[in-house]
Amino acid sequence: MTITTVARLAEHDGETVTIRGWLQNRRSKGKIAFLLIRDGSGTVQCVALKKNFDEEFFDKLTSLPYESAVIVTGPAKADERAPGGVEMQVDSLEIVSVSEEYPISNQEHGPDFLLSNRHLWLRSSKQVAIMRIRDEVIRAIRDFFHERDFINVDSPIFTPNACEGTSELFEVQYTEDELAYLSQSGQLYNEAAAMAYGKVYCFGPTFRAEKSKTRRHLREFWMCEPEMAYADLEDVMDLSEDFLCYIAQRVVAHRKHELEVLERDISKLESIRKPFPRLSYEEATEKMREHGHEFEFGNDFGAPDETFVSSLYDSPVMVHRYPHEIKAFYMKRDPQDDRFALGVDVLAPEGYGEIIGGGQREDDLETLRARIQAHELPEEAFEWYLDLRRYGSVPHGGFGLGLERTVAWMCGIEHIREAIPFPRMLYRIYP
């Protein structure tokens, strides 16, 4: 007997096959029963006729609790009446396990309930679609960099000090008398790797102990950070642009079905093409003034400012050259105008906010050392980082992309928490 999956059922039209899955829904109508079986690859309607079974078993079948595990064997056949166009006749059915009353129903549920049942919520068709898109984005990321001769060099998760010194850090007892912190960026290590291998990226979990409670924040999220030697801000912006276009095109090309399940407006993703608008901080603040949006020059963009700027365009927007005071110590100053740092943020359209932050790094030893002192950072902790400027320093730069924000944007979903299998949020760590 051929064991197959729902996704491949159409390839077996007319053949008798076996599907192993779970009962998603059922509708019985006296002497005929419709069983919707999901197996993770999709859902298929299976039709069971009472005359083919003994009465006791058929009755059990028509009252089988949702999410009971079943193995169904029978002929697959195309049928217009079936959701999905293919259905199965049930010749035999093995009940692997009878489910207890399943808490998640077809109706709408609140976030508290769904998050407490995340381990079960993952089975819902929208969540399946989101996880498949997440998988596609992850593979697109790796393929993109592989095709461009970057190599994956992951940075450590335990770190001895803050990379940026701004955000809150998670502290862990590393040894009996030594503390460590969970990484909030792999960037400094990436710079070392870029000096070793030219073009690198790291891709892994990142931890921020900020007390953020918004639809755009997780305490544990995945970040992809490329870093290039012999690169300037323009190279970083070019790479960001190509990168986002590549991801969007891959999702549209390979995950159309999932986007439809999510009722995503696919035209919004198809229209992501380069070039993206590039605005300097100065130009962006002028735009705000022109449109009567109040903003004080010199401040960092708050969420409403970001939303305003990105609302002016249908595509992602790159805002570059921010006042150096509001950017990290390692950012290189703009040689054309010392007030600004060579950083860039990419704002996704449709209100998804900042998905990329990056820029060109300071490559001069003395300037960097002065910067570390000015930020009152412990210089000895950064000796290895300063070494990168002692031994063959070159212009270099890179950026960080937030995976879940990108996935949420691709999926058109409201909350970043659905873009990761088990979200870690403020005041919520179960399950």
Partner RNA sequence: UCCCCGGUAGCUCAGUGGCAGAGUAGGUGGCUGUUAACCACUUGGUCGUUGGUUCGAAUCCAACCCGGGGAGCCA
- Tell which positions 158-177 bind RNA, by CB under 7 A: 166-167
- Of the pair 108, 149, the CB lying nearest RNA is at 108
Closest separation in Å from C-beta 175 to RNA? 28
Q: How far apart are CA 357 and CA 306, in angstroms?
A: 13
Q: Under the criterion CB under 7 A, does residue 49 sit at the interface with RNA?
A: yes
Coil, strand or helix at 48: strand
Q: Does 50 bind RNA (CB under 7 A)?
A: yes
Could you give the CA distance from residue 419 to residue 11 in angstroms, rounded to a whole number?
Answer: 31
* Interface stretch with RNA, choices 45-53, 146-154, 234-242, 333-341 (CB under 7 A): 45-53
Say if CB 295 and CB 289 are below 8 A apart.
Answer: yes
When binding is defined by CB under 7 A, the residue of 86, 355, 410, 413 that contacts RNA is 355
- At closest approach, how far in Å is the CB of 390 from RNA? 26
Nearer to RNA, 296 or 338 (CB): 296
Is-cis flag, bond preceding 431, omega within 30?
yes
Rg (CA), the chain: 26
**Two tokens, residue 40:** 């993770």
Tokens 């229209």 belong to residue: 271
Quickly list DSSP for 290-319. HTT----TTSPP-HHHHHHHHHT-SS-EEE
Kindly write out the interface string for residues 263-302 of this chain, putting x where it contacts RNA by CB under 7 A and - elsewhere: -------------------------------------x-x
Choosing from 180, 401, 407, 411, the residue that interacts with RNA (CB under 7 A) is 401
Number of other residues whose CB lies within 10 A of the CB of residue 190: 24
User: 383-390 and 365-374 helices cross at what angle (nearest 10)?
Assistant: 160
Residues 30, 118: contact at Cβ < 8 Å?
Answer: no
- Binding of RNA at residue 303 (CB under 7 A)? yes
Peptide bond into 275 cis (omega under 30): yes
# residues near RNA by CB under 7 A: 76
> In the complex with RNA, which residue's Cβ is closer, 113 or 422?
113
Residue 81 binds to RNA (criterion: CB under 7 A): yes
Site membership for RNA, residue 113 (CB under 7 A): yes
Q: How many CB atoms lie within 10 A of CB 283?
A: 15
Candidate ranges 14-22, 103-111, 229-237, 256-264; the one touching RNA (CB under 7 A): 103-111
* 127 within 8 A of 121, measured Cβ to Cβ: yes
Stretch that binds RNA, among 7-15, 100-108, 273-281, 286-294 (CB under 7 A): 100-108
Beta bridge partners of 87: 45, 77
Overall residue count recorded for the chain in this entry = 431
Of 16, 25, 41, 161, which lies in the binding site for RNA, with binding defined by CB under 7 A? Answer: 25
Query: Which residue, among 215, 163, 76, has the nearest Cα to 385 in the 3D structure?
Result: 163
Q: Does 349 bind RNA (CB under 7 A)?
A: no
Among 10, 65, 196, 256, contact with RNA (rule: CB under 7 A): 65
Contacts with RNA in 193-222 (CB under 7 A)? Answer: 208, 210-219, 221
- Of the candidate residues 61, 223, 233, 272, the single one contacting RNA (CB under 7 A): 223
| Binding of RNA by 15 (CB under 7 A) | no
Closer by beta carbon to RNA, 178 or else 294: 294
**For RNA, which is the closer residue by CB, 312 or 426?**
426
For RNA, the closer of residues 29 and 390 by Cβ is 29
- Distances 254 to 144, 165, 295, 360 between C-alpha atoms, Å: 15, 40, 41, 33
Instruction: Considering the complex, state which of residue 102 and residue 254 has its C-beta at the smaller distance from RNA.
Output: 102
